[in-house]
Every structure is written in C-alpha cells, then in structure tokens.
Amino acid sequence: MNQSNKNRHVETKIFMGSRNGYLWPLIILRDEAKYTLPSGLANLVGIYRQDYGMLMAGTLLSLMPIVILFLAMQREFVQGITLGSVKE
C-alpha cells in the first residue's frame, strides 16, 4: 500500500468518525441547535409520536455526503477490493 492510499484511508476514517459522533455530543451538549445529525435524528423519535417525514428527510440529508464521497472515490474503492481479493 503506497503512501497516497494510506492517507486516503486515514482521511476516510477521520471523516466517518467525526460524522458519526452520537454519544459524546448527546452527553455534553444541552442546546438542541448544536446537536450533530445522529443526535438530532434520534430526538425526532419519541415515545408517543414519530415524525416519519422529517426523520426520512434528515436521514437522506445525512447520507448525501457519504454517497457523494463514495461516488467520487469509487475507482479507488473497487481497486482496493480487487487488490485485496487477489491471492499471489
């Protein structure tokens, strides 16, 4: 694995880790306007009421950056899968 691929792997891990922050912001933040997307989406589900339209719209918006990142790096993704599957 060359240095460029290692950097991309680290960047992807950092990106996913920062986006998927759920528990820490839920504990620390008290202002709902500052919640991350996963924490905000979890607040849309209540005991007696679920706003499914808002929940699905928020889920779609939260998935858009991941889909765009995958489409932009699709060639490297497929290359990494095929490189790892070939036994020498």
Check residue 30 and give its pLDDT.
84
Q: Which domain does 49 fall in, by range?
A: 13-85
Measured CA to CA, the distance from residue 64 to residue 45 in angstroms comes to 21
Check residue 68 and give its pLDDT.
92
Confidence of residue 88 (pLDDT cuts 50, 70, 90): low
Residue 6 lies in a domain: no
pLDDT tens figures, 8-17:
777 777 777 7
Average pLDDT across the chain, whole number: 79
pLDDT tens figures, 46-77:
888 888 888 899 889 888 988 998 898 888 87
Our count of domains for the chain comes to 1
Measured CA to CA, the distance from residue 2 to residue 80 in angstroms comes to 12
Residue 7 lies in a domain: no
